[in-house]
Chain A
Amino acid sequence: MTYDPNHVVLSVRDLSVNYRAERGLVRAVSKASFDLHAGETLALIGESGCGKTTLNLALIRQLPKTASIDGNGILYTYRDGRQTDILKFSDRDMRRYLWSECSMVFQGALNSLNPVIRVSDMVYDTAAAHGIGRDEARKRALRLLEQVRLDPERVMRSYPHELSGGMRQRVLLAVSLILRPQVVIMDEPTTAVDILTQRSILDVLKLLREELNFSVIFISHDLAVAAEIADTVATMYAGEIVEIGPVNEVFYRSRHAYTLSLLNAAPRLSVGAEKLESIPGKPPDLIDPPAGCKFHERCAFVTDICRHTPPPLVAYNDGTHLASCYEMERVLAQAQATRKVSPL
């Protein structure tokens, strides 16, 4: 079984996160809503600082103390059909939920692995916290390590520094699956790794996903990686999800000017000579964001209304594709005229 659009696992409604900072309130995530379905891979793309990590830390309630979180629910559906609102979780609920229902491979986790703990101990500790004994944990870990194409026995005995970056990333993926969660969040797992290492991480993720059928939220600022593994793509800008839809919709029939601008800035290896355009300016200050559409200062499609009235999210394509852009007609026309190409 793969992506099942009739089975929602995680439903996020109007989620906002603010950080208290010296200069004021950082509006890191504003009213984000989306559904994650069984077996679905959702790629979250957007420039540095747009709120990708913050949004996902909120989903597992691991935000720093300076953050406040607000919204109309993060509804999670257990395998047996029970529903719960993560926003109402106690700490104890959260500890039980983490790893067994939803796990996260953190940004930069590659370099933050505890150097004096062997992979096996990492496995046992994680499992023990959820009442799973060593034998069972070991059995599961060996199988998973094999599935991520590592030498299971050797890797179990290893310390992090004995493993290459790509191996460590695969270990983290394997460990995140030990308690058989329905949702795995991966924050930039292929950033700063080599091409062939990235390839093996992507291949392994696809394989595991097929065999174990979990849902994935994949955070990346690399559009190419998103194009390859995502069923659904969400574009974030200045704390908002400005466009979300099936991968082909978002890439070939973009309806938000920001998504199209990102695509127009991304080189493709097998597309001959390309005319690329950068996006002028830089993302806005989240303490004092601009009025209207937050992208308007950098937007090539900007009109008057964009400057003062925030555009609403509008549904297209039978409701599967949402975008908040007044100029979506022109954006769509340009996307359709330019995005689909034939390779070299």
Chain B
Amino acid sequence: MTPVIELRGVNRTFIKDRKPIPVLQDINLGIEENEIICLVGESGCGKTTTGKIISGLLQPSSGEMLFRGRPISSYDRKEQAVIRRQLQLVHQDPFASLNPAHTIGDILGFPLKRHRMVDGISGVRRRIWELLTMVDLTPPGDIVNKYPHQLSGGQRQRVSIARSLTVNPKLIVADEAVSMVDVSIRISLLKMLHELRERLGLTIVFITHDLALAKYFAWEGRIAVMYLGRIVEIGRTQDVIASPAHPYTRALLAAVPEADPDLTRHKQVLRLRSDDIPSLSDIPPGCAFHPRCPFHVPGLCDGVVPALGDGPGFSQQVACLPLQQGIPLVVNQTSTQNAGQHV
């Protein structure tokens, strides 16, 4: 099937101190209709930037984005406006994105009226009721006249999601949409997103730095792991979590504590050669992870930049030359002095 959205060779640079900083490099990513895809990786790896490009809030510096198989630029202005509306971003901090001076009714009513999503005042009112019910803010009558500060964090996040639904989107980018709320509330928000996906046929791009949450939310979908502006591994969540391939993914999974004392105390340790994440203005040559990688092969990993590809023994796509060439990963001698146990 043709993906809803496809990023092809997308690069994005930002200017910092008059120097261009490559924040995304060669991102190739097809997103299928109705799928759940999770972007994970450490702070600054480019998750939000990718999410903003997907939702049309930011343009690639080079490369292109396709909507249903055609470059966005090949659609006319009117069509582009419609496409833009179909791609919505839900911000992580609803406090920052919900206008404190407006009631929830206004917040949902404005986009409905502006884009003429429904007819007449009573249509708007009915739709607001419907949307609030959809995000489980019931009874809606108790909510419409409230201001954002009168709601709890979880409720505000629901309003944010309801607002993104006002324009009948096809795809939602949820950027750390639940990271600000308590554990107990998170799960109900995620379940709600799942239900909305089924009911409305939504495609969801879920951005998080919490791997356990990614695993839970995207269990039936895919995970893309990003490192320093590139996707280093992508595949079915179940494969990536059960048998991570890329050394960076392995390091991340090994580092995550588990909410279970026995599990977490008997986890395998993978110590990196260096704790420090390189700066985007000084990205190492070859595989950007090689200076930290306990398995790096000198002469191979520090040469060319690996592209995503297949390899023997795993079903996901990985940007790692040794893996693609079937070279077994062994801890490199030069890194053994740092290896240690953490149990």
Contact = CB atoms under 8 A, between A and B. Distances in A.
A221 B183 contact: yes
Contact of A196 (B219, B251, B261): B251
Given A194-B209, A261-B184, A278-B187, A266 B256 contact: no
Given A48-B182, A196-B251, A278-B184, A270 B216 contact: no
A266 B114 CA distance: 40
B185 A195 contact: no
A271 B238 CA distance: 11
The majority secondary structure among interface residues of chain B is helix
Contacts of A269: 211-212, 215, 241, 253, 256, 258
Interface in B247-291: 251-253, 255-265, 267, 272, 275-277
A247 B264 CA distance: 12
B242 interface: yes
A262 B219 CA distance: 21
Interface string A241-280: 0000001100110000000011101111111111011111
B83 to A, nearest CB: 34
A156 B185 CA distance: 42
Contacts of A164: 276-277
Interface in A46-70: 47-48
A282 interface: yes
B342 interface: yes
Contacts of B342: 199, 202-203, 206
Interface in B169-219: 182-188, 191, 209, 211-213, 215-216, 219
Contacts of A279: 184-185
A149 interface: yes
A278 B188 contact: yes
A138 B267 CA distance: 37
Contacts of B182: 47-48, 221
B43 interface: yes
A197 B44 CA distance: 13
B154 interface: yes
A343 B277 CA distance: 30
A277 B190 CA distance: 11
Contacts of B264: 224, 227-228
B180 to A, nearest CB: 10
A196 B212 contact: no
Nearest to B275: A200
Given A269-B215, A270-B258, A273-B219, A282 B252 contact: no
A278 B186 contact: yes
| Most chain A CB inside 10 Å of its own CB: which residue of B42, B152, B182, B187 | B182
A166 interface: yes
A251 B261 contact: yes
Interface of A: 47-48, 149, 164, 166, 194-200, 202-203, 206, 221-225, 227-228, 247-248, 251-252, 261-263, 265-274, 276-280, 282, 339-341, 343-344
25 contacts: A164-B277, A194-B209, A195-B42, A196-B251, A196-B275, A196-B277, A224-B257, A224-B258, A227-B257, A227-B259, A227-B261, A228-B264, A248-B262, A252-B261, A265-B184, A266-B212, A266-B259, A268-B259, A269-B241, A270-B263, A272-B242, A273-B219, A274-B216, A278-B186, A344-B242
